[in-house]
Structure 1
Amino acid sequence: MQLNNIVEKKIGRNNALLILSVFPVSILLCCIILWILDSQINYKTILTGLANIIFTPTILITDFLEVGGISSAMINAALIGFLNLFFLKKCKLKINGLLIAAFLTVFGFSFFGINIYNIIPIYVGGFLYSKYQNIKFKSIILSVILGTGLSPVISQISFSGIMPMYFSIPLGILSGIFIGFVIVPLASHMLRFHDGYNIYNIGFTAGILGTVLTSFLRSLNIEIVSVNILYKQKNYVLFLVLLLQFIFLIIVGFIINKKSIINYKKILKYKGRIVTDFTFLVGYGTTFLNMGILGILSLTFVYITGGIINGPVIAAIFSVAGFGAFGKHLANCLPICLGTLLWAYLLKFDISSTSVIITVLFSTTIAPVAGTFGPLIGILAGVLHFTIASNIGIIHGGLNLYNNGFAGGLVAGFLVPIIEAFKRGEK
């Protein structure tokens, strides 16, 4: 197959889905191995852990590895992964860069906020929207999948104890249907604000909608209490599983295109601004190579800083790797990460803390700023991102899992017009 003068093996939709299925399958296999090796793990502990995950309000930060245990969190992630694979196969969509990014992002967040209960109402809302607009569901499935970043709204209303459960659960489900219904038109409109310089556009959209919903709940004297439930133990099993998954991507990249390493330098020339689909621009082989490299570098960063591989960190790593198919690469991510990390260090934050690590990794949402305006502006954008991301959670009350996507939209919407104004002045 030839894409933009890139010759590689044709993989087709089914093979692309098969490659993506490796992630939930490998996580499920790891869970089974742990079950066999650890006598304390049995079906009762796993079911209890799953129940804890489902019936817990999942606002930021609720780490499923801590809430339900490693095995239950893995099963939850596998279930979410298989569910999304089912939708992608059913919709018969071409597996492009954004679909890959969406799949891996939501898969990552299924360790941290998204569960099999709070994801379904949003899908139902998206389906109803497609019927209302008389359009095919597959044309909006991407926005709906990524819209599950607001799934904590469903869990918070359903299980926070703000009202009797016979009333709160239906209300929570209805709120999810509402989110799924409105997320698509909102997302297309919000793109204009940051002009494509924030890769996590749905994160910005979810931040706006989450802020509106939080304000509404607070106006009814419904308090949203922030939490910080984190898994804090060193676990090299999770590190090894993720490492093997990213090595797998690199190997697949070479199998699809033996010249993927040569073509890799072509990726580094792209600015990354929406829409930059690497599967179309450089082919699947080089795209998977780029994803694997970003995933391994993210893991290395966590290891070097002494961080913990927990739910939020897994979500951040998969988001970076996933969007390696849609705009991110080493050249445009590095300046942003350096700026974020530098500012955290100067402000004397603990570099090994989960909050700093995920902010650094998620800050790559504004990688197009560095790709377009250069590394110095990228470092400045990283500084600004850390400042905003550290303080913006109070606005949406933790109901938006994509907090950094929200912050990134504000950074891009604020910084880019100023930079462009100065550039016009110089001319």
Structure 2
Amino acid sequence: MLLLSAFLFNSPAEIIEGMISLTKAPSILVTDYMAVGNVGAAIFNSSLLMVIATLIAKKSKVDFNGPIIAAIFTIGGFALFGKNTYNVWPILLGVLIHAKIKGEKFSKFIIVAYFGTALGPLISQITFGYELPLAKAIFFANLAGLIVGLILPALGAHFVKFHQGFNLYNIGFTAGIVGTFFMALLRSLGFDNPRTLYLAEGYNRVLGIYLTIIFISMIILGYIFNNKSFSGYTSLVKRSGRAVTDFVVLDGFGLTLVNMGLVGFITMGYILAVGGQLNGPIIGGIYTVVGFGAFGKHSKNIIPIMIGVYLGALLNVWDVNAIGPLLAALFGTTLAPVAGEYGWKFGIVAGFMHMAMVMNVGGLHGGMNLYNNGFSGGIVAAILIPVIDAFMRKEESA
């Protein structure tokens, strides 16, 4: 449905032209494919990658549970501003080689592979951003992508201990560390990344209607799949969301779809309420939250984080409707388990801390890691959770 809907916005010729433009873009943060190409091309690129990811998962005989749904929607979201049909393949292939070396099935590492495409801009930037001879650029870019894919599974398994499952974007944190290493290496060789900000504006009405149709369809289908009932949703929102909380397994696919549609409306509503623009990065953020509506996020645990981010922007030097704070409000919900586990007050604190952190870590990886908020969220969780535990822990009786 999403793939075909691209032709509502642009003609086939325009979409092909736009696809060529966005595929050749360096794609570092923040590169809106709706601005670099056009709206139809961005939606087509996003939907095509979602279809490919779905088919690969089906071919690999993966259970379609919460994590895989979250991963596919995250790929689709970031394919509106950074992932494309050129830059994801080396990373996927690297993870496949990792699986072969380990003697394991690719399906065991498919979640890491999908989220690992966060470093797609590393491939695009080396290929198109440094004015290297094309053959040399393609070789070194794809070599870097293969290395990323080879090492991500081991690093991801290790770093989850760092934030104890309270940062849902674990591979985002891992990709931030890897991206920082590659950026340091590139800077040592005399290469650096420019500050990038390409954004589309003026599409709130049409894209708002477009998203509303998608979210309503999710809620209606979920209602039907849940025996024409919303029964059980109150139990779903009582879950903390801490990794691993798979709503598909725990609460059923129907209620999961309902939850996905609801968090979609909440996040879109926030953007419009504060005067933000619906464009590639923002819809990418909304898609990601919707995807994680199957894997840890729900209407109760994301709102405190968004309030905290809003207060963080309001009380500091950032405009609440600028692209950075808007993305922080959406992707900062990676810390939703903090609110789910410890209550809304600590959720607000986490969101406030995240707002300050995320605006300062992007320079470390030069925009190479699309999951910048996952990187920041890991740091915030690693700092905040031990402190909360220390003061909330009941003293043992003598």
What is the TM-score when the length of structure 1 is the normalising length? 0.90
> What is the CA–CA distance in structure 2 between the aligned matches of 1:348 and 1:332, rounded to whole Å?
26
Indicate the residue corresponding to 2:6 in structure 1. Answer: 31
Indicate the residue corresponding to 1:256 in structure 2. Answer: 225
> What is the CA–CA distance in structure 2 between the aligned matches of 1:34 and 1:331, rounded to whole Å?
34
> What is the CA–CA distance in structure 1 between the aligned matches of 2:393 and 2:283, rounded to whole Å?
41
Q: What is the CA distance between 1:239 and its match in structure 2?
A: 1.9
Indicate the residue corresponding to 2:43 in structure 1. Answer: 74
Q: Which string of whole-angstrom CA distances, capped at 9 and with x for unpartnered residues, describes residues 134-159 of structure 1?
A: 10011111110110001000001111
> What is the CA–CA distance in structure 2 between the aligned matches of 1:364 and 1:34, rounded to whole Å?
30
Q: Which of residues 371, 374, 388 is equivalent to 1:419?
A: 388
> What is the CA–CA distance in structure 2 between the aligned matches of 1:176 and 1:42, rounded to whole Å?
31
Q: Which of residues 94, 113, 117 is equivalent to 1:125?
A: 94
> What is the CA–CA distance in structure 2 between the aligned matches of 1:78 and 1:282, rounded to whole Å?
27
Residue 198 (structure 1) aligned with residue 167 (structure 2): yes
- What are the equivalent positions in structure 2 for 1:8-23 lying under 5 Å apart? none
Say what the alpha-carbon RMSD is for the aligned residues: 1.4
Indicate the residue corresponding to 2:293 in structure 1. Answer: 324
Indicate the residue corresponding to 1:221 in structure 2. Answer: 190
Residue 245 (structure 1) aligned with residue 220 (structure 2): no
Q: What is the CA distance between 1:283 and its match in structure 2?
A: 0.9
Indicate the residue corresponding to 1:176 in structure 2. Answer: 145
Q: Which of residues 251, 255, 277 is equivalent to 1:308?
A: 277
Q: Which amino acid aligns with 2:273?
A: I
Q: Which string of whole-angstrom CA distances, capped at 9 and with x for unpartnered residues, describes residues 163-222 of structure 1?
A: 211201111111111111111111110100000000111111111111111111111111
Q: Is the 8 A contact 2:94 2:150 kept in 1?
A: yes
| Structure 2 segments unaligned to the other structure (5+ residues) | none
Q: What is the CA distance between 1:226 and its match in structure 2?
A: 2.1
> What is the CA–CA distance in structure 2 between the aligned matches of 1:271 and 1:235, rounded to whole Å?
33
| Structure 1 segments unaligned to the other structure (5+ residues) | 1-25, 36-40
Q: Is the 8 A contact 1:27 1:241 kept in 2?
A: no
The DSSP-based 3-state class of the residue aligned with 2:41 is helix
Residue 188 (structure 1) aligned with residue 148 (structure 2): no
Cα 1:233–1:201 change in 2 (3 A) is: same
Indicate the residue corresponding to 1:58 in structure 2. Answer: 27
Q: Is the 8 A contact 1:260 1:285 kept in 2?
A: no
- Paired-residue identity, %: 41
Indicate the residue corresponding to 2:336 in structure 1. Answer: 367
Q: What is the CA distance between 1:259 and its match in structure 2?
A: 6.1
Q: Is the 8 A contact 1:320 1:361 kept in 2?
A: yes
Q: Which string of whole-angstrom CA distances, capped at 9 and with x for unpartnered residues, describes residues 30-53 of structure 1?
A: 222334xxxxx451x332211111
> What is the CA–CA distance in structure 2 between the aligned matches of 1:424 and 1:316, rounded to whole Å?
35
Indicate the residue corresponding to 1:8 in structure 2. Answer: none
After superposing the two structures, state which structure 1 stretch, 318-327 or 259-268, moved more.
259-268
> What is the CA–CA distance in structure 1 between the aligned matches of 2:211 and 2:395, rounded to whole Å?
47
Q: Is the 8 A contact 1:59 1:156 kept in 2?
A: yes
Q: Which of residues 255, 265, 270 is equivalent to 1:286?
A: 255
The DSSP-based 3-state class of the residue aligned with 2:241 is coil
Indicate the residue corresponding to 2:78 in structure 1. Answer: 109
Count of residue pairs the alignment pairs up: 396
Q: What is the CA distance between 1:230 and its match in structure 2?
A: 0.9
Q: Which amino acid aligns with 2:192?
A: E
Q: Is the 8 A contact 2:90 2:146 kept in 1?
A: yes
Indicate the residue corresponding to 2:244 in structure 1. Answer: 275
Q: Which string of whole-angstrom CA distances, capped at 9 and with x for unpartnered residues, describes residues 378-402 of structure 1?
A: 1111110000001110111100000
Q: Is the 8 A contact 1:158 1:172 kept in 2?
A: yes
Q: Which string of whole-angstrom CA distances, capped at 9 and with x for unpartnered residues, describes residues 117-140 of structure 1?
A: 001111111111111111001111
Residue 157 (structure 1) aligned with residue 126 (structure 2): yes
> What is the CA–CA distance in structure 2 between the aligned matches of 1:144 and 1:156, rounded to whole Å?
20
